Amino acid sequence: MAEFTTPELLIILAGVVLTAIIAGILAGLLGVGGGIVLVPMFFWLLSLTDFPPENAMHMAVATSLATIIFTSISSARAHDRRGGLDRDLLKLWAPGIILGAATGGLASRHIDASGLKLVFGILALIVAVNMALPKTLVLRDRLPESRLVNGAISYVTGLFSALMGIGGGTLSVPILVAFSIEMRRAVGTASGFGILIAVPAVLGFIWAGWGVEGRPPLSLGYVNLVAAAVILPFTVGFAPLGAKIAHSVNTVWIKRVFALFLAITAVRMLNSALG
């Protein structure tokens, strides 16, 4: 087990609480599940300690996914009450997302820390550029009619979301908007995707990390139960606030600020992976 001093634990606790509040608001506001904030912050906090670097990224991703299960439920319920969750679309994409997320969780056992950081950094940079654009990319005026095509799109979304430790919104919202799904409806439905992604992915990360040396106390596979328990009250509690904001204000500037944060995070992650 990794050893932590009292100052290190206090630093981690303060950082985790602040990050959890931001993640909860963003989960409701943008349908992103909060993982896009939690993963880099987890990784950065662990890097301040003597935590084994080969396990840090896996722990960050897996613990983030564990919190997303409950954060997404809170966010999805808040959007559903406002009519922002498309149940038919949720059912259409559910099989592919679940299968993709399970694949990502299980595959993590065979991907080293640098590989995970590369996946996160490259995809996060692409998402940041898309969010910063004045007008998001539009491919056509509706979703593809083919269930096979929808299955392929949802599978890839689930796979890479699991490997990044994020809910469905970071990848699925830009995709849905590209197929002319209204922004608020895309965000609300993406909150539901977060649940479908997180559950199978967490099970995969628990299996992949079972028996791995150097994990902190009270860890289930790569999931640290203490960190998840500290985060959950804040992410779950603040997700409805984010949903309320999403349905009452123009989110364009929030998207741009978030894109800037995401781009900086992605560059730092890529530099760490390639350095």
**For residues 6 and 82, what is the distance between their CA atoms, to the nearest angstrom?**
44
β-bridge partners, 219 = 224
Residue 188 and residue 86 in contact, taking contact as beta carbons nearer than 8 Å = yes
Residues 144-198: pLDDT tens digits? Answer: 999 999 999 999 999 988 888 877 677 888 888 889 888 788 888 988 998 899 9
Q: How confident is the model at residue 1 (pLDDT cuts 50, 70, 90)?
A: very low
Q: What is the pLDDT of residues 51-102, one digit of tens each?
A: 777 788 888 889 988 988 888 888 888 888 888 889 999 999 999 999 999 9
Residues paired with 223 in a beta bridge: 220
The DSSP code for 109 is G
Instruction: Confirm if 1 and 216 have CB atoms less than 8 A apart.
Output: yes
d(CA 98, CA 166): 14
In the chain, how many H helices and how many E strands? 10, 2
